[in-house]
Amino acid sequence: MAEKSVPHRRGATGVSSLAERVLELLASGQATTRTELAALLGAAPSTISLTVSQLMAHGLVAEQGTRSSTGGRPRKVLRLGGSDGFAVAAEVGGRHAHVGVVLPGGGLTDVSTVPFATADGPEAALPGLARTLEALAERHGREQLRGVGLCLPGPVDVESGLVTLPARMPGWNRFPVRTWLEERFGVPAAIENDANCMAVGEHSVQPAERRQSIMVKTGSGIGAGVIADGRLYRGGTGAAGEITHVRVEAGDTPCSCGNTGCLETVASGAALVRILRERGVDVASVEDVVRLASDADPEATRAVRQAGRYLGMVLAANVNFFNPDAVYLGGMLSTLEPFVAAVRSQLYEGCHPLVTRHLVIERASLGADAGLVGAGQFALQRALARALQSITGTDAARHPVPHQSVVRTDV
């Protein structure tokens, strides 16, 4: 988690470290003025001013208006980057990809959905997606393209830029997706798990005081992303938020992980398709389940409500342990009120009153766009790290994203 007052490291890497911390604090919204930066970093105002000036000279930081202060002259408000750059991003699903242009601060435009055959493997599927993203870049001015972001429905090794052991992405294991994108586009690229992208995207538009949250994606599968003290929390091996393989007592269905009764086998969209077909209901996809439940079909509604209860049971243990400010629900199943109501009810029943006293439980406000916004922000932050290298001489490969801070829209 982020420390709110961490003295910058000195010596050969002093400038690099201080510049990184300045960018981190501005990105996370913990500071917006030079005075706040000096106080949080324990550095002299003159040192902060020099570092900010260097970052401004390279376009990494800009001034945006002033803010009144108590007993002094107005302070100039700082923000990240310029407003002339953008990233193109895509959120990949089983048969389609959600694509768009992401602006600094989380703005989103030119959103559309295009066919994408994940099951065909990366070498067959990626070129078509790349052409779509290139067309978006050309439309907005190719010279202003800063990065490319890709949101994937499987585990991602962020350090190496590889997909690792994906359950629903045949042919993608260990494929160098990030390198492929960077060679194709000639700009920094970022790849990330879909739940993490959604967590970062949603956090960027939520009130600043909600610094701890859990984002749960409920589509064909189930995943979760964790925001701790305003930044994405990955855990020791990058698997934080892996709730899909928590075992549920009521289940005995074999899971792809080798165990039985995992949450994914009783509460995911794929599980609901299987369960309803076993009950004689004519469904072939999660979209069919959503359609039937939206039309108040009794069997579909009953199955959806039970899935929400199972998810709520697993989430309750995590919420009790983590004590977040908010739980956000995304994905196709989150569009169904019986599902959301069941999750909410189970959390209130299974969590300590102190934990739920101010807990917000709601659908992701960005809806289907949350992952897209997050993927674009990861790409822009990776571009920021590369630009920082030109000032400090640090290895951008070792700092792919400055501490995984979240670029807030209110900075």
User: Domains in the chain, ordered, with CATH?
Assistant: 14-80 (1.10.10.10), 86-199+369-404 (3.30.420.40), 208-364 (3.30.420.40)
pLDDT above 90 (res 164): no
pLDDT in tens, 76-94: 888 876 556 899 999 998 8
Mean pLDDT on 341-365:
97
Q: What percentage of residues in the chain have a pLDDT greater than 90?
A: 63
pLDDT at 7 over 90: no
Q: Which amino acid is at 316?
A: A
Q: Is 165 helix (H, G, I), strand (E, B) or coil?
A: coil
For residue 151, give the nearest of 83, 205, 200, 80 by alpha carbon. Answer: 200
pLDDT at residue 67, as a whole number: 72
| 306: enclosing H helix or E strand | helix 298-322
Q: Following DSSP, what letter does each residue of 215-281 receive, concatenated?
A: EEEESSSEEEEEEETTEEE--TTS-TT--TT-B-TT---B-TTS-BSBTHHHHSHHHHHHHHHHTT-
Confidence of residue 72 (pLDDT cuts 50, 70, 90): low
pTM over 0.95? The answer is no
Mean pLDDT of 166-171: 84
Q: Give the HSE-up count for residue 138: Cα atoms under 13 Å, Cβ half-sphere.
A: 6
pLDDT category at 363 given cuts 50, 70, 90 is very high
In tens, the pLDDT along 287-298 reads: 999 999 999 999
pLDDT (0 to 100) of residue 13: 40
Q: Lowest-pLDDT range, 54-58, 276-280, 341-345?
A: 54-58
- Confidence at residue 68, expressed as pLDDT on a 0 to 100 scale: 64
For residue 4, pLDDT beyond 70: no
For the chain, the average pLDDT equals 86
Question: Counting beta carbons within 10 angstroms of the beta carbon of residue 376, is it exposed (0 to 12), middle (13 to 18) or buried (19 or more)?
Answer: buried
Q: In the predicted model, what is the mean pLDDT of residues 358-381?
A: 94
- Distance, in Å, from the CA atom of 260 to the CA atom of 304, rounded to the nearest integer, reads 20
- The span from the CA of 312 to the CA of 302, in Å, is 15
- Please state, in angstroms and rounded to a whole number, the distance separating the CA atoms of residues 343 and 215: 13
Q: What is the spatial distance between Cα 304 and Cα 246, in angstroms, rounded to a whole number?
A: 19
Name the most confidently modeled range: 206-215, 278-287, 378-387, 394-403.
278-287
Identify the weakest region by mean pLDDT among 104-113, 259-268, 285-294.
104-113
Say yes or no to pLDDT of 95 above 70: yes
Cα torsion 47, 53, 58, 59: sign: positive
Mean pLDDT value across residues 338-352: 98
Cα 315 from Cα 8, distance rounded (Å): 37
CA distance 216 to 327: 8
| Predicted pLDDT at 301 | 98
Q: How far apart are CA 278 and CA 266, in angstroms?
A: 13
pLDDT in tens, 187-204: 999 999 999 999 999 998
DSSP-assigned letters across all residues of 172-207? -TT--HHHHHHHHHSS-EEEEEHHHHHHHHHHTTS-
Say which residues have a Cβ less than 8 Å from residue 351's Cβ, sequence separation at least 6.
316, 319, 320, 359
The per-residue pLDDT for range 297-344, each reduced to its tens digit, is 999 999 999 999 999 999 999 999 999 999 999 999 999 999 999 999
Give the Cα separation of 222 and 343 in Å (integer).
14
Name the percent of the chain lying above pLDDT 70.
87
pLDDT attached to residue 277 = 97
User: How large is the angle between the packed helices 34-41 and 45-57, nearest 10 degrees?
Assistant: 120
Nearest CA to 379 among 150, 174, 202? 150
pLDDT at 404: 46
Asked whether 218 and 334 are in contact (CB, 8 A), the reply is: yes
- The answer, yes or no, to whether residue 65 has pLDDT greater than 90, is no
Tell me, what's the pLDDT at 26? 78
